[in-house]
Amino acid sequence: MESTRIICPNGHLGFAPLKPDSFHLGVAAKPDFIAADSGSDDVGPGPLGTDTSTSLRQWQEHDLEEMLLAARKLGVPMIIGSAGDTGSNSRVDLFVGMIKDLAKKHGLTRFKLGYFYSEVEPEYLRAKMRGGSPILGLDGRPPLTEEELDATSHIVAMAGVHPFMDLLDRGADVIIGGRSSDSAIFAAAALHRGHGMSESYYLGKVLECASFCAEPYGGKETVMGEVNGSGEVLVTAMSPAQRCTVASVAGHAMYERSNPYHEYVAGGMLDMTHCDYQQVSEKTTRVTGANFMPADEMRVKLEGAGKLGERFVGIAGIRDPYTVRHVDLVIEWARTQVRERFGEDGYELYYNVFGKNGVMGDLEPVKQTQSHELCVVVQAVAPTAEMAEEICMTGTRQMFYARLPDVKGTAGSVSFILDEVLRASPAYHWTLNHTVAVAHGLELFPRHMTQAGG
């Protein structure tokens, strides 16, 4: 069997621009596919909840333009998964529009543009739940309840290889995917060319974060992966400054994963327990021994974000050493003033005390602050902006009036850099980190084919 080579220039397209030099070196090596993932749940629940991107439009366009021009010049497919950070329908439409505009801008010859959606309607899940197919929780979460479903603003399903392969089979030159497993984007390309499941999924796993599988550390550089038809995966750094080593490639298997041996996707699990890593040349490491185990039941991962309320933020500083030591009393005073005005519940109020445990909260082992000054960030979340603003203002400004028994400074207990509170993005939380049983891998991912270029 012929080998298949894929280059990946960016582990999260749009979050920061790809580095052109190593990308152009990768293109010059004439790969069979150019592919990248554009999504992440690291950015928090806000973008999915509000159906927006956290990436800048000009950076998304920059990378799509580089990849599209290279792919059309080489005449090879370009594949993008998890469009626009969240992979919601509006983000797929955004990227499809960008591809069409770029094709027109550069006068590209007509090509087939395939895309699929990943959003899931709440009623679909409700019907599953009522029909006796529970929406099971991941990472220790209990099964989804209808109450949690009702409190969810947007839901996306995580596609496996299936919609990508379907669009490749139908001759798509460019694919814009909704929410997808990172590894599936690349695995689909290798499977489409007839390679085995184990090496195809491992290829996807190692390529998904681009140069994070190379060393020295440096993001947004292009990496090439190859499956050579005899079960081996070869991964090569394209940047002159980077190498793919046994340590860097093996190390990547554990990045952002709780377990380095198992990677779950729709339809199965890639077992990397018996992977063997060999340095075969200065910049290339060869991996063998991965084993893909198909699942008995097809379950698809779901992500959902639900709105908690409008949000305001206040900031206060403390320099008096007595007040630094008693910051908990200052906060309790302010909380009490909020409670007297707004009661015990119906809102949320948070204090992050930087200089004490602002970064780690309860995980902070240093229990007694060593700092001579503190910064307190106050967050208030409430059903309306007016209420959130008043709670935040009370919770921030009342620290100024905190009554401490032995304080020397009686003109104000905190400092302000602003005599106001700031409107922040609405507060969301992840309501779904679950899976749903489906009949097949295409069930939740409607596919479409259109054309772009002249």
Partner 1 sequence: MEGRNSTRKLIEIAKTIRSKNAGVDKITFDIIFRDRADYDLVRDSRALTRETVAALYGIDGDRISDFVEFDPAFAIKFTLYRVRPSGSPGDPDIFGAQQYAPLMDVEIPLSGKTIVQTIAARDTDPCR
Q: Which is nearer to partner 1, 29 or 254 (CB)?
A: 254
Q: Which is nearer to partner 1, 4 or 53 (CB)?
A: 53
DSSP code string of 214-271: SBS--SS--EEEEE-SSS-EEEEE-STT-B--HHHHHHHTTTT-S-TTEEEETTEEEE
Query: Is residue 261 near partner 1 by the rule CB under 8 A?
Result: yes
Instruction: Report the C-alpha gap between 42 and 38 in whole angstroms.
Output: 12
Contact residue for partner 1 among 14, 31, 45, 77 (CB under 8 A):
45
Exposure of 107 in the CB half-sphere (CA atoms within 13 A): 0
Sorted by sequence, the CB contacts under 8 Å of residue 96 that are 6+ apart come out as 113, 115, 176, 450
Contact residue for partner 1 among 65, 101, 348, 373 (CB under 8 A):
348
Is the distance from CB of 284 to CB of 244 less than 8 angstroms? yes
Stretch that binds partner 1, among 1-9, 154-162, 235-243, 247-255 (CB under 8 A): 247-255
Contact residue for partner 1 among 59, 400, 416, 430 (CB under 8 A):
430
Stretch that binds partner 1, among 6-14, 177-185, 220-228, 421-429 (CB under 8 A): 421-429
CB atoms closer than 10 angstroms to residue 97: 12
In the complex, the smallest distance separating the C-beta of residue 259 from partner 1, rounded to whole angstroms, is 5
Query: Is residue 280 near partner 1 by the rule CB under 8 A?
Result: no
AA identity, residue 454? G
Cα four-point dihedral sign 446, 160, 171, 31: positive
Q: Which is nearer to partner 1, 29 or 241 (CB)?
A: 241
Query: Is residue 253 near partner 1 by the rule CB under 8 A?
Result: yes
AA identity, residue 38? S
CB atoms closer than 10 angstroms to residue 420: 14
Instruction: Report the C-alpha gap between 147 and 132 in whole angstroms.
Output: 17
Instruction: Report the C-alpha gap between 33 and 186 in whole angstroms.
Output: 9
Per rule CB under 8 A, count of chain residues that contact partner 1:
46
Q: Which is nearer to partner 1, 274 or 448 (CB)?
A: 274
Site for partner 1 in 78-107 (CB under 8 A): none
Q: Which is nearer to partner 1, 54 or 133 (CB)?
A: 54
Site for partner 1 in 179-208 (CB under 8 A): none
Phi-psi region of 137 (alpha: psi -120 to 50; beta: other; left: phi over 0): beta
Binding string, residues 352-391; x marks residues near partner 1 by CB under 8 A:
x-----xxxxxxxx-------------x-x----------
Query: Is residue 308 near partner 1 by the rule CB under 8 A?
Result: yes
Stretch that binds partner 1, among 90-98, 155-163, 194-202, 258-266 (CB under 8 A): 258-266
| Element at 209 (helix H, strand E) | none
**Interaction site with partner 1 (CB under 8 A):** 41-46, 138-141, 246-247, 250-251, 253-261, 275, 277, 303, 308, 311, 348, 350, 352, 358-365, 379, 381, 427-430, 433
